[in-house]
Amino acid sequence: MVDQVTADLYVPDAGEEPLLAISSVSILRAAPVSRLSFRCRDDARAAAGKAFGVALPAKPLSAETTSDRIAFWLGPDEWMLIAPESDLEAVSAKLEAALESHPTSLVDVSHRQEAILVSGDRAVWLLNTGIPIDLDVSAFPVGSVTRTVFHKAPVMVWRTGEDSFVVEAWVSFMDYVAGLLVQSAGELSAA
């Protein structure tokens, strides 16, 4: 079991104040990245991975990463491909060229969602104030990625370390998700 996965693409947005920064947990907005929703049948998966630069995982709820590429398994024919913000056109073009003979769908959703970085001793506790799944490392190991819900908002959660997570939500849901996380974390600073 790994303790940490490469998550270099998700860095705090330098221009933003932390949403929460206490000793036991912090919530930071992540800087923008390119996000491509990719759909294909099995026979195109290998070619897509080759063109993208990292294999598209076939194992449910897993991710493949390098320092500048991430492929998240979201469904049996669905991956979220992450690349640096500036690589959007190059990545799209490369994938399209490589997959000309395969029926696929590549859609830019870079702006659809935002990410926050939740980390610290109490990160699991804090996320579980709204996420109903078992986030114990035995049940949701480092490297796991899943869509689920946070209270009433759909979210995607990626575990990058024992106590560190990337949480993505559609942009208009992020105020709700981040707001409730900050509210729920309030008691951690209580006397």
According to DSSP, the residues that pair with 105 across neighbouring strands are 39
CB of 22 to another protein, least distance (A): 11
Residue closer to another protein by CB (options 78, 87) is: 78
Residue closer to another protein by CB (options 6, 147) is: 147
Instruction: Give the strand pairing for 70-75 and 78-84.
Output: antiparallel
Collect all residues with Cβ–Cβ distance below 8 Å to 182 and sequence separation of at least 6.
19, 20, 27
The length of the chain in residues reads: 191
Residues of the shown chain interacting with another protein in the complex, contacts defined by CB under 8 A: 32, 37, 39, 41, 60-61, 74-78, 103-113, 125, 128-134, 136, 139, 146-149, 151-154, 170-173, 175-176, 179-180, 183-184, 186-187, 189-191
- Of 95, 103, 89, 93, the C-alpha closest to 71 is 95
CB of 169 to another protein, least distance (A): 9
CB of 190 to another protein, least distance (A): 4
Residue closer to another protein by CB (options 11, 66) is: 11
Number of neighbouring beta carbons within 10 Å of residue 77: 14
Q: What is the largest CA-CA distance in the chain?
A: 63
CB of 148 to another protein, least distance (A): 6
